Amino acid sequence: MSETHTAKKKADIFSKAFNFTKADEVKALGLYPYFKPLTETDGTVVVIEGRKVIMAGSNNYLGLTNDERLIEAAQGAITRYGTGCTGSRYLNGTLDLHLELEEKLAKYMQKESCVLFSTGYQTNEGAIQTIAQRNDEIFSDKDNHACIVVGTLVSNAKTYRFAHNDMDQLRKMLDRSNPEAGKIIVSDGVFSMSGQLANVPELVKIAKEYGARLYLDDAHAIGVIGEGGRGSASVFGLNDDVDLISGTFSKSFASLGGFLVGDRPVIEYIRHNSPAHIFSASMPPANAATVLKALEILQTEPWRLERLEYISNYMRKGLSKLGFNVWTSSTPIIPVVIGDMMSCFQFWKDLFEAGVYANAVVPPAVPAGQSLIRTSYSATHTDDQLDAILEAFHTIGVKHGIIDKNGQSLVE
Ligand code: PMP
């Protein structure tokens, strides 16, 4: 072995893994909040480590994951088509169910055409990579979901990342950009950690002014907000002004998969050119059938969206009134800012022991010192469950010195 080879051997590519001790350190303190297996669930109540807790951290916005009608639809599809498609949509993996779903989603979203992907992640990564190529330019919000970031990285386009929701900076970047380049602005419609709505009216205006296309990732918006649950642009009556809108089936639709809607030529181009679409197996039959049923329920049971909106407002007001900082959410995602990472883990543990499961979110997902408990709600949460969640937050917030008994915040 040459000397260079010996030297190279020292730089073991696995060394980062061998040196990764963070998770073990938190586990040793008994505060590790991740990868907890659920052994039972009815949607709002789950069993974790033998403890029955209220689920306040799921993206099951319409409360459909345990709905008998969805379960029946999934079982029926398995009986008819089997358990998997064993191929990509391009080749042997297209079912009549996929075509029916694409047609119904396009109609629901009032767009010409729709293409399905096997996850929401693949939808954004795959679509952005395909539509933005060499000599094109992407303008992406810094808080966009990881799958958008990866999509921009694997595309050959020049990418500008503007500060979160900073429309002035976006304009400045566009001012400096190449006037000859094809341009696309990409933003989450609702930001996944903060529950904050994008400034869609301004994004539409800017896109038109600069001749850019606009792409919204509405994973947390379709089936959640807007007219008939049509997402972030429809809150402002602007669906027609957004060129591409993506959604996921892993949240409101209680399944797995994703979709993109837009004008027919653009969707056909992505359908025929996106590696994530062409080289990955299609959504399993049960998943597609589940979404078809969920879409029907979304349109025929408007009480779910109404209840969800009521719950979002009730919990946002309730948590703020207790003295918590809930940032700028206007959706069923309501973050509760705790502060440093270890305090957040301790808060999480106390909350869990008090009978509430929510998600601990720490850097790099949020800025340092802004670790938070991300709560999220379902249309099927009962009033009693909501009050129990507030009660637990109150008790633990006071115990940790984050709020006082009179509803005052004790942190910056
Ligand atoms: N976009 C956003 C904004 C998300 O929050 C997520 C997942 N949390 C995704 C896309 C990916 O969706 P999926 O989990 O269905 O792959």
Mean pLDDT of 326-335: 95
Query: Any catalytic annotation for residue 220?
Result: yes
pLDDT digits (tens, 9 = 90+) for 41-80: 999 999 999 999 999 999 999 999 999 999 999 999 999 9
Q: For ligand 1, is residue 189 a contact (CB within 6 Å)?
A: no
Q: Do residues 43 and 60 lie in contact, with contact meaning Cβ atoms separated by under 8 Å?
A: yes
pLDDT digits (tens, 9 = 90+) for 79-107: 999 999 999 999 999 999 999 999 999 99
| pLDDT tens for each residue of 194-217 | 999 999 999 999 999 999 999 999
On the question of pLDDT at 3 being above 80, the answer is no
- For residues 337-341, give the mean pLDDT: 95
- pLDDT, one tens digit per residue, over 112-145 is 999 999 999 999 999 999 999 999 999 999 999 9
16 included as an active-site residue: no
Q: How far is the CA of 295 from the centre of ligand 1 (A)?
A: 18
- Chain centroid offset of residue 311 CA: 19
Out of 155, 192, 280, 371, pick the active-site residue. 192
- Ranges of beta strands (E only) in 146-250 are 158-162, 183-188, 213-217, 244-248
Q: What does the pLDDT read at residue 331?
A: 97
Q: Would you mind telling me the total number of residues written for the chain in this entry?
A: 412
Provide the pLDDT confidence category of residue 396 given band limits of 50, 70 and 90: very high
Q: Which domains does the chain have, with CATH numbers?
A: 19-55+302-399 (3.90.1150.10), 68-300 (3.40.640.10)
Let me know if 22 is a catalytic residue.
Answer: no
pTM: 0.96
121 Cβ below 6 A of ligand 1: yes
244-271: average pLDDT: 98
Instruction: Tell me what pLDDT residue 411 has.
Output: 82
Q: At what angle do helices 120-131 and 146-154 cross, to 10 degrees?
A: 30
Helix (H, G, I), strand (E, B) or coil at 305: helix
pLDDT over threshold 80, residue 6: no
Kindly report, residue by residue over 273-316, the tens digit of the pLDDT: 999 999 999 999 999 999 999 999 999 999 999 999 999 999 99
**Strand (E) positions, 3-136?**
38-41, 45-48, 51-55, 113-117
Choose among 179, 183, 228, 221: nearest CA to 200.
221
Percent of the chain residues past pLDDT 70, beyond the cut = 98
d(CA 60, CA 311): 13
Average pLDDT, the chain: 96
The pLDDT value given to residue 2: 58
Of the residues 111, 145, 251, 394, only one is catalytic, namely 251
With the CA atoms of 264, 270, 273 and 279 taken in that order, what torsion angle do they form, in degrees rounded to the nearest 10? -120
Rounded to an integer, what distance in angstroms lies between the CA atom of residue 198 and that of residue 140? 12
% of the chain at pLDDT higher than 90:
95
Whether the per-residue pLDDT at 7 is higher than 70: the answer is no
**pLDDT surpasses 60 at 321:** yes
Gyration radius of the chain's alpha carbons: 22
Closest CA to 57 of 77, 43, 73, 74: 43
End-to-end CA distance of the chain: 59
pLDDT at 4: 58
Measured in angstroms, how far is the CA atom of residue 249 from the centroid of ligand 1?
9
**What confidence score (pLDDT) does residue 9 get?**
62
- Expressed in angstroms and rounded, the spacing between residue 148 Cα and the centre of ligand 1 is 10
